Structure 1
């Protein structure tokens, strides 16, 4: 296979590999590194000997991500404060079925649930339930027998309690939340936001020890509203407020002097109320975000 043809074959799979790697690793930058490593090894491979290049690329990328995730889990033990996945731009849709599928595999809440799984469980589950690959193909990709692969997926499904994060309210409801959240920040008026929060809502923030942020998770509507009114309002009052499609739903990017300084995403309960608010302020995790209007990729 000529180099130009080989590159074209890889490019046909790049988006799939990036989507897979991000969901395994929870980091856009690490996912891009995994895809680059896959490409470099693809260039060195004997293409003529490959019956199924897509399967070969999937196997290589998956195994690299599993190795990286093992290392990441060790590093996260020493992470300063709350660890959250790296936010990414995404496209949303008004189709309830498509929105549910997207949010269930891209949402911050779901990616945090995936942290409960072993690296192999996570990869096997994603390949089978999110990317719809057959068990024999997934077993080969992660290097186990098919029976073992089925057990990995079964354990993953049992461990995820998936129903808790598969709730995606209509886009209009999400826009209503953003307006209410902005009003609370801009004017201190929290009545509209209060009505949209679940009683047991939680708020957490990830600064990675690089910028000041919350050192613990806030629990309950009263505590969360007090923090928004008394703290965020003062800190965020002068930031540009930029609604954006993030991690499969409507979120917010905050900017100052042309730089992204924070992102906010949400999770919802079965009633459409906000169950979790996730704030990322770690500059390293915000580096891949584009200010709305400048162009951005999707996940």
Structure 2
């Protein structure tokens, strides 16, 4: 098998490793491209292309993550990973585990780990690499890697709520939720929200937060029903879509440009957290990005017009 063909066969795995370590689609794609350049330039064929390429993409990702941590500390407001529309690496026997490992909740927990802990945890717990291969990838002994995994697992387990794996049930609940709030049905929205639901947004200080920073079922339901109904009336599109292996949606303007994405955390038949990504720097891979400020102004004007019409009739 030629190098290029071999690499393309492994590309989905390499991207999936890099994305889980970095939490960025753009940076993961760059890491995979750099891995290819190094592989193409190598003169000695590796014993195992999978082990070699996985080691290279892991080392590159660890280096990138060290510098990315500095940028994240300077980030304005909450920081979320770039939304992932679909994971290119698939294993039918472990689909639920893989989906859980790429969820927003899991990626945010991974942020608690050091870059080295994060890489070792991803290789072992998500992709089930053996410790000799992990040790080769990160430049540590197998025994040291075992200790890193134990420490990382302890950090992850301490903060991880267990989300049920019934994806069909979650999808049905999400569709009911999106139908209710696009129709302005406050009661329908509220009954699907946990009492202490949170709505948080990553705008990076570069876009409006829309409905970010709200807490509690009553508050969140009223804000959503009022704002989103006006958004839909001006031609806005709410497109339900899997996001990081979870129910979510892409919000587009009337021309189909991306305004923001939503990801829903669901537990015990209720929505616990709504995470909004409106930072334009993290949406380019989803599609052409809209002028979110202009859309919000138009939405608010439509809401004022509706209110004025209601009060004068």
Partner of 2:243: 246
Match of 1:74 among 70, 73, 78: 70
Matches for 1:6-85 after TM superposition, within 5 Å: 6-48=3-45, 50-85=46-81
Q: Give distance in 2, aligned partners of 1:99 and 1:134.
A: 20
Task: Give the drift of 1:192.
Answer: 2.1
Of structures 1 and 2, the larger Rg is shown by 2
Matches for 1:81-120 after TM superposition, within 5 Å: 81-90=77-86, 98=94, 100-120=96-116
1:174 aligns with 2:174: no
Distance 1:75 1:215, change over 3 A: farther
Match of 1:280 among 262, 277, 281: 277
Which aligned segments of 4 or more residues in structure 1 are displaced greater than 6 angstroms? none
**Structure 2: gaps (5+ residues):** 289-313
Partner of 1:297: none
Task: Give the drift of 1:203.
Answer: 1.0
Per-residue displacement from partner, 1:120-141 (whole Å, max 9, x unpaired)? 1111111101101111211111
Per-residue displacement from partner, 1:5-43 (whole Å, max 9, x unpaired)? 111121121110001101111111110000001111111
Q: Give distance in 2, aligned partners of 1:10 and 1:104.
A: 26
Report SS of the residue matched to 1:47: coil
Distance 1:200 1:103, change over 3 A: farther
Equivalent pairs counted in the alignment come to 282
Q: Give distance in 2, aligned partners of 1:98 and 1:236.
A: 38
**What is the alpha-carbon root mean square deviation over aligned residues?**
2.4
Q: Which has the higher contact order (CA 8 A, sep 6+)?
A: 1
**Structure 1: gaps (5+ residues):** 292-299
Report SS of the residue matched to 1:40: helix
Distance 1:53 1:170, change over 3 A: closer
Distance 1:97 1:56, change over 3 A: closer
Partner of 1:266: 264
Q: TM-score, normalised by structure 1?
A: 0.86
Does the CA contact (< 8 Å) of 1:265 and 1:277 recur in 2? yes
Partner of 1:295: none
